[in-house]
Amino acid sequence: MVKKIAVLISDKGTGSNLDAILQAFDNSQILNGKVTVVISDKKDAQGLIHAHKRNIPIEIKSLKEYLQQGKTRRNYDHDLGQILKKKYDIDLVVLAGWMLILGSEFLKYFPNKVINLHPGLLPDGDSDYLVLSDGVRIKAIRGLHTDAAVQFALDHHYPVTGSTVHFVTPVVDQGSVIIRSEVKIKNNDDVKTLYHRMKKEEHKILPKAIALYCEDRLFIRKGRVIIKDAETGSA
């Protein structure tokens, strides 16, 4: 069955990852799936243009309006979950620059069905550190968004940073890792140059993770993601 996907964005990013996802569908790099709705918490999010262009339904769900009406953050999470579940019958929720932490009121509708793109390298499990492919150990960058996460790697003189696609759990930036991509930091890098190279990688790993999900090739075993082999089907 074709997986119905919701992509959640905000006005903090440029929507480049949403664009990369939609291009991957256009180029048949993702099969067996369809973006059926794009959600933003702000009506002027730049990325909405990509949904408009392809006539993909858009929902603006403003948290600010909820709070002004005397409703709570839990109400917001609950109602957002209901819309995606009941109105759109969503199979996979993709956070691509979404800024709000989604609590269990939302996640209960989508157990192991929400993935996030994080602009820092995250380890498997709850460790505070991870070992890079060249053996160097660095501290995980958690709880920081966009530019702040990139700046952190520069401020702490990391040799390498990168981005991670992971399943979302109620504990922020700690769900099982699907794919991470390392990016070497150059001596003369600033946030702009480094983030530019990180985003190029993000535009590959997020569509890749979605493709794996749509092919039913992702499993979680003892908190770790296992990717089923496309040929043999073994995990």
**What is the binding site for ligand GRF (CB under 6 A)?**
13-17, 47, 96-97, 117-119, 146, 163, 199, 202
**Distance, C-alpha 20 to centroid of its chain:** 12
| Closest approach of ligand GRF to the CB of residue 4, in Å | 21
| Closest approach of ligand GRF to the CB of residue 1, in Å | 28
- Decide if 224 contacts 40 (C-beta within 8 A): no
Q: Spell out where 57-194 has E strands.
A: 58-60, 92-95, 114-118, 129-131, 137-139, 160-167, 177-184
Residue 116 or 176: which CB sits closer to ligand GRF?
116
Backbone angles phi, psi at 10, to 5 degrees: -140, -175
Cα Rg of the chain, angstroms: 17
Which residues fall within 8 angstroms of residue 92, CB to CB, at 6 or more apart? 3, 4, 5, 6, 33, 110, 113, 114, 115, 210, 213, 214
Task: Count CA within 13 A, CB hemisphere, residue 137.
Answer: 3
The helix/strand/coil state of 50 is helix
Catalytic residue flag (residue 118): yes
Residue 78 or 140: which CB sits closer to ligand GRF?
140
Q: Which of 50, 52, 78, 118 is catalytic?
A: 118
Residue 20 or 212: which CB sits closer to ligand GRF?
20
Residue 78 or 194: which CB sits closer to ligand GRF?
194
| Closest approach of ligand GRF to the CB of residue 203, in Å | 8
| Closest approach of ligand GRF to the CB of residue 127, in Å | 21
Residue 3 or 180: which CB sits closer to ligand GRF?
180
| Closest approach of ligand GRF to the CB of residue 160, in Å | 16
Alpha-carbon distances, residue 3 vs 8, 120, 189, 204, 207 (angstroms) = 16, 28, 39, 20, 14
What single-letter amino acid sits at 49?
I
Q: What is the number of the residue whose Cβ is closest to ligand GRF?
A: 13
Alpha-carbon distances, residue 29 vs 16, 21, 92 (angstroms) = 17, 9, 17
List the catalytic residues: 118
